[in-house]
Chains A and B, each alone.
Chain A
């Protein structure tokens, strides 16, 4: 048994270290080991990591969880900050998802980046990303969580700007980093407040004491006490809003599409952007203590789910359609979190990781075939040239729209039901948003599918001649991702939502337990599907698909007419509600104007101009005056002496 424990701990270490080793080899020895060597070592690293994760998940299923330290990072006063692992069902499941998608993307990259001069560097980065993401999900404390949080942000920055000569890419990566930093600003304050409240940064200690602190308060504005738990949770959620691109910090995600497609699938759809969702689920013992915070989460999630979906309908860039879809789906997960249905959020996180990675990689496959053309207006009719890409893309689309029995159906249906059962403020709006979002989701998804794969072939002659299915390194990951996009839903819904899969890794207060209500009438997969096809969401989704079919297959002139008739609504959507313009003008421009003002007026005019050089001028002036006194005439000095003597005598006499 002891020997077994040691073996498992080595396995835990192997999970993050294998990708790290691959990354270091590809990064430092990329020229030595060459292109093939680079992809072999990194793929081997991630494959090892995936195999170990599966073994760990299996072990966890047998009840073996782990919470321990790897090494002591730092000690301040009596606070020991450590790097350590918490292996429980939640983290084990995340590890499997992360390493699986990462492995698929690694293989896919061989094909996608085949002609790129930065081949080795790319493999180095994506393996480094895998390491960082694993450190994030495996962490057992807030410090390491923040470490992983920032490290994935760094790699995301590096990868969005991978093509560093492209102006839009280096604009997008700076924007992504800075917007994420706005979220981290809240996140670090949340962590600080946790330390101030609990005197510890360890999950187990903080969660253990959480109940005792439930009614503690903090006075931010004198005379207006806040529940400290609400403040902590809202600040942590601000961090999640940055990383998981929730309104109004969503602005970076669409621009991140400037990066190569494999990372859009891995980082900006399947894993990194879900870090915020994972984090909130991990913090469920804290969020359960603050209804205020959960209401905020619900409303933000609802806004993101619906309003970002609208934007997907007016995009023509195939990747941007999927990017807005990702934003919207992250909103769905956030709604589930707000409704206290944390397992549902994680369930949707998992299914979404599979089908969204699939959609992105399929889009990438199309982009390769189209010679890096991403505008759907120049596509069409690709179905017959790329059957594997097409059919896997159909699977992904059906899963995204929530059509049974595809994976997305189960998770999305559960979210909608959870939102309808929640009774906290904001739940009504969130329920409406996720329900209306179903229609929009179906509309933009099938709009994309029809515009790309069906209808008239709108590409130029040269491109059409060279159209062909992508090589096997590209299509194999598509097929491997399509399988869980079909199966993951009905295979895992029972244990994850209504069983004891998560055990004690997620806490739900009995009063908020919408999941238990859902579970009380859950009678199995078959009845769940039957119930699903008779419920509104299914029909709303079908309506969306039919609308897309009518608009983009039957009456293809109509969208243009609608666009012209809709006037300002289209303008607002086309400008993405004006966030980018406002941020550029107010935040980026404002900061520069403010800085220039402080510099030119504060530093140059006041401090240097008035005080420093002013002092120098005063000294110069004084010395000019003093020079007049030093005339050199003996009678001037004698006169001064006499006055001095008189003054001294009178001071002595009277004083």
Chain B
């Protein structure tokens, strides 16, 4: 029934157009119109991505829902879109998260409502563009363009130290991506094409592959972020408004992992294999080092930010052990982390809206005044600790199962997350939620309102649904993951 509709274009442009509409109609005197329009836009944006999942042919290899038209013929740059089972899931995650962010910002944002909502809608379209692009230049344009709304979100609606955070965020991420652009241009000179499929098939010598891999690595490792280029993330999260943190953690980090999957590994497979030792080392550093750092954080947002870095370590670990468990586990981890980190940042947002503090020490005994919230927070905290039955378990478990096949000690080091992840998450939970009320302000905190229950409830359904029945998710990406892995296993040297 959706045959013939350019679904991917719709997925990209519906939120962007909606965002522009919100901007145009937005008046500070009537924020309600902007809110409802934004909600309608984000829901429409989500609805057009649903057929991508329902209409996806899980047994078919190659790209689906492809769209192609020339854009800049002089340089053979095309508007080429397409998805496989992996990018399709990430697109769905993006459009879903956008709906949540719009609802979550409903009352919290009181200044420049139209601009706030529009930023998120436009950002959503641009991020979907990254996941749907099959042309390197198109990919690059979306990749860079989404920095702008995020820059504005942190810079305008952010906390007191937002200028330092935005500039750090901007420079860190910009630096890496310039080298990526140079790699694209270099490969265009070799192949005459910017099409990602052509680049994946382009034979390259080892030296060139190493350079290209490193240039990709710099942009993706910063985005993911990997240790040691991670220090922008805690700062950005602390200063960002709740919605900004949610999008940052749930989706923008995933673009780094996606970049490795779609570009760095298939374009430079031999370099990826040659450098896998380094990648695994950095991943394990993220998992172990960062977990200990997370343990001693006093600011909840920083703690969750550090925990995100540790969880992203599982993505790169899974990818660079080159087996199907690691690979699919990495994708599962990306999607699950989208739900769990979004939920945790929203939980902190709920508390921040009431008490205007992110410090653990200012809380304690929240369960007394907010039992419903405490129950939701418990679920998401347990998910962050990788409890079976939640989505987070699927990714971590599968990556550990994959890692042990390649090396016992790597798996043993990675599995320490069972202890450290539980330690930093539940220790925070204990200090914030359990205990007697010490700070009198906590006892006056109102429990969740209907709007917050909807947002957290939707995420709870996602976290539990994917935890108890992940089969549909693994089913749609099965063939795509297998194909990519086969491609990466083939040497390009001859």
The chain A residues found within 8 Å of chain B, CB to CB, are: 71-77, 79, 143, 146-147, 150-151, 154, 157-158, 161, 164-165, 167, 170, 174, 177-178, 181-182, 184-185, 188-189, 191-193, 195-196, 218, 220, 591-592, 594-596, 598-599, 602-603, 607-608, 611-612
Contact = CB atoms under 8 A, between A and B. Distances in A.
Given A146-B388, A189-B412, A599-B292, 7 more contacts: A74-B471, A75-B475, A178-B423, A185-B418, A193-B404, A598-B293, A612-B168
A192 B475 CA distance: 22
B218 interface: no
A607 B228 contact: yes
The SS class assigned to the B binding surface is helix
Contact of B404 (A164, A177, A185, A195): A195
A226 B435 CA distance: 47
A26 to B, nearest CB: 13
B469 interface: yes
B295 A592 contact: yes
**9 A-B pairs with least C-beta separation:** A192-B404, A595-B292, A77-B324, A595-B296, A147-B388, A170-B434, A595-B295, A164-B434, A599-B293
A177 B471 CA distance: 29
Given A76-B324, A77-B324, A165-B434, A174 B404 contact: no
B206 interface: no
Nearest to B296: A595
A272 to B, nearest CB: 15
Interface string B178-213: 000000000000000000000000000000000000
A350 B482 CA distance: 48
Contact of B292 (A146, A193, A220, A594): A594
A599 B325 CA distance: 32
B365 interface: yes
Contacts of B393: 150
Nearest to A231: B408
Contacts of A146: 388, 397
Contact of A177 (B293, B405, B411, B426): B426
B398 A76 contact: yes
Given A150-B388, A196-B405, A76 B471 contact: no
Contacts of A192: 400-401, 403-405, 411
Interface string B400-431: 11011100110110011011101100110010
B467 to A, nearest CB: 9
A174 B470 contact: no
Contacts of B388: 146-147, 150-151
A154 B381 CA distance: 12
B236 to A, nearest CB: 13
B231 interface: yes
A165 B365 CA distance: 7
A147 B411 contact: no
A181 B419 CA distance: 5
Nearest to B409: A220
Interface in B323-361: 324-325, 328-329
Nearest to B293: A599
Contacts of B405: 192, 195-196
B293 A220 contact: no
Contacts of A196: 401, 404-405
B267 interface: no
Contacts of A77: 324-325, 328, 482
B470 A74 contact: yes
Contact of B422 (A75, A158, A178, A591): A178
Given A75-B475, A150-B388, A599-B293, A189 B411 contact: yes
A580 to B, nearest CB: 17
A188 B400 contact: yes
B201 to A, nearest CB: 25
Interface string B432-449: 011110000000000000
B281 interface: no
Contacts of A71: 469, 471
A299 to B, nearest CB: 23
Nearest to A228: B408
A591 B397 CA distance: 24
Contacts of A174: 426-427, 430
Contact of A599 (B296, B408, B435, B482): B296
B128 interface: no
A151 to B, nearest CB: 6
Given A170-B430, A612-B231, A189 B415 contact: yes
21 contacts: A73-B470, A75-B471, A76-B329, A76-B401, A77-B325, A77-B328, A154-B382, A167-B436, A178-B419, A178-B423, A185-B419, A189-B404, A189-B415, A196-B401, A218-B408, A220-B408, A592-B296, A602-B293, A607-B231, A608-B231, A611-B228
B367 interface: yes
A76 B328 contact: yes
A583 to B, nearest CB: 13
A193 B410 CA distance: 13
Contacts of B470: 73-74
B165 to A, nearest CB: 12
A75 B472 CA distance: 9
Contacts of B292: 591, 594-595, 598-599
Contacts of A181: 418-419, 422-423
B408 A188 contact: no
Contacts of A591: 292, 295, 420, 423
Interface string B265-300: 000000000000000000000000100111111000
B389 interface: yes
A147 B430 contact: no
A195 to B, nearest CB: 5
A165 B416 CA distance: 30
Given A174-B427, A591-B292, A76 B416 contact: no
A603 B408 contact: no
Contacts of A607: 228, 231
A598 B382 CA distance: 25
Contacts of B436: 165, 167
Contacts of A151: 387-389
A77 B324 CA distance: 6
A195 B434 contact: no
B394 A602 contact: no
A72 B404 contact: no
B478 interface: yes
- Which of B292, B324, B367, B387 has the most chain A CB atoms inside 10 A of its CB? B292
A602 B289 contact: yes
Given A151-B389, A188-B397, A196-B405, A73 B423 contact: no
A188 B398 CA distance: 11
A73 B419 contact: no
Contacts of A79: 325
B474 interface: yes
Contacts of B419: 178, 181-182, 185
A167 B436 CA distance: 8
A164 B435 contact: yes
B289 A598 contact: yes
A139 to B, nearest CB: 12
B478 A195 contact: no
Contacts of B365: 165
A177 B387 CA distance: 11
A2 B418 CA distance: 44
Interface string B213-254: 000000000000000100100000000000000000000000
A79 B397 CA distance: 14
A161 B328 contact: no
- Which of B422, B469, B470 has the most chain A CB atoms inside 10 A of its CB? B422
Contacts of B296: 592, 595-596, 599
Contacts of A74: 394, 398, 470-471, 474
Nearest to A593: B296
B415 A185 contact: yes
